[in-house]
Amino acid sequence: MHRRWRSHGDFGGEIELMPRQLISSGSEYEAKFGYSRAVVDGDWVFVSGTTGFDYATGEISDDPAEQTRQTLRTISDALVQGGASMSDVVRARYYVPNVDDWAPISEVLGEVFGDVRPAATAVIADLIDPRMKVEIEVTARKSGEK
């Protein structure tokens, strides 16, 4: 449990205990580097930057489109564990080291988010591992519709 300040009026307020749920994808790096795949806080699900590794096998494809699909599968699993779905995503951030990979990556993103259309930002930036072709982080607000 953590404490969250809930304000009532100009200066009044009360402290309300709100449960916070930590979600793991099974990646060894979550504990090693001190982060969660996702954190559920009330109606919000915050999914950490996620790459194309298949955490069950430790493998990563060399194909940017397949990495994007795997990344989105991992994100979807985290959202479901948090009581949300891909249709609940309201914000997405995409990090891509090579601008030449953007076309196949964005095609997959369009397939998944074409109807959802979250607020989004794409950034060309180096990633920690040179095998990574995309990293995606999302924020979702649980709607009750799956």
**Does residue 146 have a pLDDT over 80?**
no
The neighbour count for residue 53, using CB atoms within 10 Å, is 21
Q: Taking the model in full, what pTM does it have?
A: 0.85
Give strand ranges (E) for 29-134: 38-41, 44-51, 89-96, 119-124
Query: What's the average model confidence in pLDDT over 95-117?
Result: 98
**Does residue 5 have a pLDDT over 50?**
no
Burial 113-125 (b: 16+ CB within 10 A, else e): beeeebeeebeee
Query: What's the average model confidence in pLDDT over 110-137?
Result: 97
User: Where does the pLDDT of residue 2 fall: very low under 50, low under 70, confident under 90, or very high at 90 and above?
Assistant: very low
Cα gap 91→33, rounded to integer Å: 24
Domains and CATH numbers, the chain: 19-141 (3.30.1330.40)
Q: What six digits make up the tokens of 22? A: 């930590």
Helix (H, G, I), strand (E, B) or coil at 117: coil
pLDDT in tens, 61-90: 999 999 999 999 999 999 999 999 999 999
